Chain A
Amino acid sequence: MPDVRITIDGKEVSVPAGSTVLEAAESIGIEIPTLCHHPAVEPIGACRMCLVEIEKQRTLQPACTFPVSDGMVVHTHSEKVIKARRFVLQLLFSERNHFCMYCQMSGSCELQDLAYEYGLDHWTYERPFPKLPVDASREYFIMDHNRCILCRRCIRACDELVGNKTLGIKNRGTNSMIIADLDVPFGESSCVSCGTCLQVCPTGALADRASAYMGAEDEIERVKSRCMACSVGCGVELIVRENRVIRIEGDWDAEPNSGLLCEIGRFHPLHEQRQRVYEPLIRGEDGLQKVDWEDALGLAAEKIREADDDLVSVVSGFASTEAAEAVINQLPGQKVTMEGPAPDVQSAPLSTLDEADLFIVIDADLTVNYQVAGFAIKRGFRHRGARLVVIDDEENGLDPWASEKLSLEEAEEVLDRAEDAEHPVVLCDVEGLELAQSLSKEISDSDLVVFAPAGNTLGLKEAGIESAFAESEKASVYYVLADEAPEMGDALSQALSEAEFVIVQASFQEPWDDVADVILPSPITSEKSGTMVNTEGRVEQIVAAVDKSLPDEVEVIEKIGNRIRAASASAGE
């Protein structure tokens, strides 16, 4: 389409036809205030803050939805416009409970920012003080309807970005209320607690339990890093105050998640209940006891040196690529991954999910693991009419979205369904890889998305640790680089309990305190720096946001290595 020439505040600009007045203004650096508008979702013109004067238009028009046309003349800050915006703010403040002095959002609130900008020093209209409920039925964040301005950002984020469409609105006018499903408590609804609505809410209506009243925008720092909880490797913004992470948000600029996170990435690190390890522990007569670093490193090095090749190093996908390299370079014996083998095929980029018209999900539940990729499937289903076939012998969280469910035995039947698909994508993790590969080969033009079993499994592979623990031979001494790993699995648990000596480098005591003879403290993801490789093969930076004065995981492994070499040298080996 040809470009359209319009004039905004006396400045001429040429923009593509179909652009909105807001986009045109932004392209030449003219600021128009917005409130319900959010760049990640479709504009709907709900709040009227972006009203502008357009010549030959009878009334003021919302810039966020109004399309440009040739020769249009726009005034964004005329007296009439400013007066209208003040009026809109007056109405917004008068409607519900918008008293900043006891709101946790004060200082970070977009409504408040606009009131300051427009010099609102009092309210003109009588306040109705409606008696509205607070819904605290969800674990991680609450919905205070009193603070809601009905901008519908949450509804659009839930629908357009997450594809879950839990949120909606009931009633009309001043009686309008945000509801979940058919007006059930949020905690009993189809909500998946991904927190995307929380991240886009401009006021204090959605409040994070962990970070409420913990720091306003000018008191915090935002550090971009990565989530290592699964191999999607989402970009995060760690919200930090006084050397503490108070909240985690999705990084809008990061691929592959574009601002989205799941419950695990956004909330679990801040609601971790396990006991942190800040000092080295050695098993004595009364169980694990605190010792100093020298003793712990000395004992670990001695046991590893004695074991030599009778050692298995088990490395978790929470470890950075650099830590995995250190294990390879410093320690003897076999090296294996904790969570499973690295897939031996290259996955298609996750962005292909937003082009697919047929998803074939094999033996993986994307509502439990790799959830952000699962959101892409729901988006595709809702907004592009994409079909979904789930091939799984067990119940799968995506079943309600599936147009068809096949058992693994019936998998071949999917080939018929794929015939008329223009862009089929087959998704699997390492368990379903063999089947996925054979199906993908037979479906023309199909992409294969493979999820590595843990956050940095591909980084471990790059460092040289490829095979899974299950393939290792039994040893008498184990070194486990666990970091934040939440569980060890039955086989590893069995092997560790039968081993003579177990050294664990972990951030938390559980689940290692029953099996470990030495626990060496390790930083959690927000405390360390390094790289990880996500399931697409994307190399991503882990950036330390806080400093808990713990030695880096690499440093600890190198110190052990140095001790082993020094001991060997003095023994004349």
Chain B
Amino acid sequence: MIRILALAVAALATALPAHAQKKYGPGVSDAEIRIGQTMPYSGPASAYGVIGKSQKAFFDMINEQGGINGRKINFISLDDGYNPARTVEQTRRLVEQENVLLLFQSLGTPTNSAIHKYVNAKKVPHVLIATGASKWADPKNYPWTMGFNPSYQVEARIYAQHILRNSPNGKVAVLYQNDDFGKDYLAGLKSGLGPKASMIVREVSYEVTDPTVDSQVVDLRGSGADVLLTFATPKFAAQAIRKVGDLGWKPAHYLTVVSASVGAVLAPAGLDKSTGLITALYLVDPTDPEGSRLPGMKAWSEWMQKYNKGADPNDQFHVNAYAAAWLLTEILKACGDDLTRENVMKQAASLKDVQIPVVIPGIRVNTTASDFATFGEMQLGRFDGKRWVPFGELLSGR
């Protein structure tokens, strides 16, 4: 009897309207939510700085539309120059001085590695960080850190699946950037190929300081491979595609989604040389005429024109930026008036089948308390000379 009474009281208590209990973490008031970010606006990775700029534009739009549950977003994005020591300094400034509620889309793997222990010790949500390294989805040891990009290993495993299916006797060559980015992909590929990892006959790396990767591509061709995976950032991917075309080499060529932008990579490399490329997609490419008809992309396009005027509409970075910012907004909305750091993480870890408007329909975000990987599936697409044409069903790389 008493148990039933207790249950009834509990049910009543939880049914009470949320706004009767406002709970604020640091950086939150009735009027604003403070969000922190470190981004490379200068230095060797400064090309990625546009992501932060775009996100500022997104939050400007949200603020103009009334904010999140009536609170404006105060977005504080600081430059770390891709220098991990500076990331530590700027992050400490954000957490200890600017008093932000959470850190959003901090960019880079070595930079985020530098603050990984710190944010978890200080219990600051370190969410939707802009890197696909697989080590961020580790809720057991680092419960405050969550990535956004589909993990590089997830993507590579998807390529491995396709290779095993379509070129089971092929010889595989890999071009990869000599840092976390490239090495993580390589590791994912090897794990995806499993016992058939011996299919890899040559793996060659390049440095971001190399002027060209021509020498590497020549080397890879010399290995006699008929399958090539290019794990390169945009500039070098374009060079590689161009050189492969110039050499007259026609392998089954897989390209990382990071460099799949038609405007920024394939066009400079040569659309004819890019025909036949395969990638794993999750964002809609802005140059895709079919994708542009989606209501989400229409909204994106309007946002670009109104709030992000100087930005290049063919650049997929802006879709990426929009997607992450949109997801954060949803997480914060879901928090309601309980804007504590704990609740932010709880909401971030309870995403169920969330379809981000600028992500390919069908690819949904799913997180649980034990699985922090936001995207588990991707869609393979082949370039036909004009756009990425999706084929096959969604593949999972979890």
Asked if chains A and B come from one complex, the reply is no
Chain B residues with a Cβ under 8 A of chain A: none
Chain A residues with a Cβ under 8 A of chain B: none
